[in-house]
Amino acid sequence: MQAAAKDLGIELTVYWANRSPAQMYQQADEALGAAVKPHFIVMQNMKKTAPQIIEMAHKHNVRVLLFNSGLEEEETRVYGAPREKYSNWIGQILPDDAGAGYQLAKMIVGAAREKGLSNPAGKVEMLALGGTVSDSSAIERNKGLTRYLQAHTADVVLNRGQALPGDWESAKAASVFEAAFDGHPTTTVVWNANDNMAMGVLGKAKDKFGKTPGKDIMVGGIDWNPENLKAVKQGQIAATLGGHFMEGAWVMVLVNDYAKGVDFQTEGVSLKSELGAITAANIAKFERALGDRSFEKVDKIDFSKFSKASNPALKTYKFSLDEVLGQLK
């Protein structure tokens, strides 16, 4: 976010709330009560804090953009969508979790097919581990998985018939996977709603069942955790999807363009950011370009190139890993 603000000439002040709603409300009150008010507040809906801060900002005619996490269903029923009930809430950009769930399934099933890991009926057998069932990201990722499975009934079978609750945790996922695999030992693909669970499954598949991940069982997850990226490099994890940290930059681009009279509403007020896939095919390029995602590496990206205000010929926003890596050859 700081790198993008620098490229776009935005004065950015960052408040750290340490996941405390009370602290977030206090910081919003401080910013809105200052002699020089901000033009925009950008924030996550952390612990349901966004609605109250949208209301607070509305009284001061300060615009709000949400990123990374939006309103929950019951909040949306009360507050509507961006620009409906609160004109100052101008938009949001949220990760395409459903798309990520679909893409992960497609990639790990594809990897299994390349290795010939189908059952005698020609189907790839899958187990799936979901996150905490009430979390919106878990729900959306499961929707993507379901959409993939419904479109590929002839090619894939989901053992146990649903995503099993792994609660985002490595140890819980390992335990759930062990019990499920005991009943379905011909499983060759394990879809995980996050990287922590993928690592729990990886360890159990090797140590308990003597499997060789990347050869006779394909495991994938979401988040770009460092240990999972290392496992991709070693050939043990088939894919990890991530890039959430880039949303801070994308929301700066939207702020910049809106402030300069180029309203992102032409593409919608609720945008989705694509999660990028890291596999054996692009891990080396990713490490060279972004690697530890330090400021020094991220600062090499010219975020003005993603702005429609800076590039009038740009017809649609191209917020993707491929576009970033393309700049950092």
- Domain end: 197, 220, 242, which one? 242
Mark whether 122 and 221 lie in a shared domain: yes
pLDDT of residue 329: 67
By DSSP bridging, strand 276-278 and strand 239-242 are antiparallel
Instruction: Look at 244 and 255; give whichever has higher pLDDT.
Output: 255
Do residues 286 and 280 lie in contact, with contact meaning Cβ atoms separated by under 8 Å? no
Residues 252/1, Cβ–Cβ less than 8 Å: yes
Would strands 218-222 and 156-158 be described as parallel, antiparallel, or unpaired?
unpaired
Tell me how many domains the chain contains: 2
The per-residue pLDDT for 280 is 96
Q: What is the pLDDT of residue 33?
A: 96
Do residues 226 and 111 share a domain?
A: yes
Residues 66 and 150 in one domain: no
Residues 127 and 224 in one domain: yes
| 103 and 11 within one domain | no
Question: What does residue 163 show for φ and ψ, rounded to 5 degrees?
Answer: -75, 125
208, 103: one domain: yes
The CATH number of the domain holding residue 152 is: 3.40.50.2300
User: 65 and 12 in one domain?
Assistant: yes
Q: What confidence tens digit (pLDDT) does each residue in 261-314 have? A: 999 999 999 999 999 999 999 999 999 888 888 889 899 999 999 999 999 999
Q: What is the pLDDT of residue 109?
A: 98
Strands 124-130 and 156-158: parallel
Return d(Cα 158, Cα 233) in angstroms, integer: 27
Q: Does residue 175 lie within any of the structural domains?
A: yes
DSSP character at residue 111: H
Using CA atoms, how far apart are residues 142 and 150, in angstroms rounded to an integer? 12
pLDDT beyond 90 at 153 = yes
pLDDT class for 227, splitting at 50, 70, 90? very high
Domain membership of residue 226 as a residue range: 97-242
Q: In this predicted structure, what is the pLDDT of residue 135?
A: 83
What type of residue is 48?
K
- The alpha carbons of the chain give a radius of gyration, in whole angstroms, of 21
DSSP 72-107: -HHHHHHH-STTTS-TTEEEEEEE-HHHHHHHHHHH
Say yes or no to pLDDT of 328 above 90: no
Same domain, 136 and 32: no
Q: What pLDDT score was predicted for residue 73?
A: 85
What is the per-residue pLDDT for 292?
82
The answer on pLDDT for 91 being more than 70 is: yes
Q: Residue 34 carries which DSSP code?
A: S
CB 268 within 8 A of CB 313: no
Tell me the β-bridge partners of 129: 164, 192
Whether 285 maps to a domain, the answer reads no
Under a CB-based contact definition with an 8 Å cutoff, are residues 56 and 24 in contact? no
The pLDDT value recorded for residue 134 is 81
Predicted local distance difference test score (pLDDT) of residue 186? 97
Mean pLDDT rounded to a whole number for the chain: 95
Query: Looking at residues 115-128, what average pLDDT do you find?
Result: 97
- Does position 185 have pLDDT exceeding 70, yes or no? yes
DSSP bridge pairs for 126 = 158, 189
Note whether residue 290 is domain-resident: no
**Poorest-pLDDT segment among 6-20, 237-251, 290-304:** 290-304
283: in domain: no
- 288 domain residue, yes or no: no
69 or 41, which is more confident? 41
Within the chain, where are the H helices? 2-8, 21-32, 50-59, 73-79, 97-114, 136-151, 170-183, 195-207, 226-233, 247-259, 283-289, 295-298, 321-327
Query: 223 Cβ partners below 8 Å, 6+ apart?
Result: 194, 195, 196, 240, 241, 242, 244
Which 3 state secondary structure label does DSSP give 126? strand
Q: Give me the amino acid identity at 264.
A: F
Residue 63, pLDDT > 70, answer yes
Residues 198 and 117 reside in one and the same domain: yes
- Alpha carbons within 13 A on the beta-carbon side of 280: 11
pLDDT tens track for 202-219: 999 999 999 999 999 999
User: Rounded distance, CA 195 to CA 257, Å?
Assistant: 34
Domain ends where: 198, 224, 242? 242
Q: What is the DSSP string of 57-75?
A: HHHTT-EEEEESS---HHH
Q: Are 232 and 104 found together in one domain?
A: yes
Same-domain status, 83 and 149: no
Residue 291 lies in a domain: no
Task: Of 160, 149, 154, 150, give the one whose Cα is nearest residue 108.
Answer: 149
Same domain, 16 and 32: yes
pLDDT confidence band for 257 (50 / 70 / 90): very high
For residue 149, give the 3-state DSSP assignment.
helix
